[in-house]
Amino acid sequence: MGKGIFITVEGPEGAGKTTILKIVASELKEKGYPVIYTREPGGIPIAEKIREIILDKSNIEMDPKTEALLYAAARRQHLVEKIIPEINKGKIVLCDRFIDASIVYQGYARGIGMDPVYLINEFAVDHVMPDLTVYFDIQPEIGLKRIQQHRETEVNRLDLEGVQFHRKVREGYKLLLRKYPERIKELDADRPLEEVKKDTEKMIMDYLQKRSFLVK
């Protein structure tokens, strides 16, 4: 790919990653960095329509493999239509979730298997992986409580899963942390927003400096 950088954030429901990533993206733009914020599933019209199907609370009968394939389809379109073109332009793409979410949610928590879900997504992403992934860690009970307290935010089908499902999600992320320690970096998300935001921005800035990515 081009000279840009691809950074993702991951974490269980209620970790605060979406709120913080939007703030960090805005602050990096103010500093002159060519930042693009996007999300998964979504980011472009086709993928946003698939998102509506996946997260619709009425689709409780959805089969886990159907869910995994829909995520992969949305990811493929998002990748070729937005992520790769922006990276090729030299942009910093900050993405709220990517392939790790599917491996954890559908592969581990749904019980399909992490390897089969990885293979589905390997076909979809064509070996394009994040340069850096920031993982927001939080106990599921705390994350779900946050969601209950902020009902004005989007509450989706995954939020309605039982706490045991969300414990499996966290376990899955911990497995990926051990498997990809060079790419995935962990932050404690059970702290005041400003502290987590500050550490997130520092982690991203340290990586940009490591890659000698300078504001033009």
Annotated binding site for ATP: 11-18
- Say what the alpha-carbon torsion angle 8, 9, 13, 14 is, to the nearest 10 degrees: -140
Annotated binding site: 11-18
Do β-strands 184-188 and 92-96 pair in parallel, antiparallel, or remain unpaired? unpaired
Dist CA 185 CA 65 (whole Å): 28
Dist CA 25 CA 15 (whole Å): 17
Residue 71 contacts residue 124 (beta carbons within 8 Å): no
Dist CA 207 CA 194 (whole Å): 20
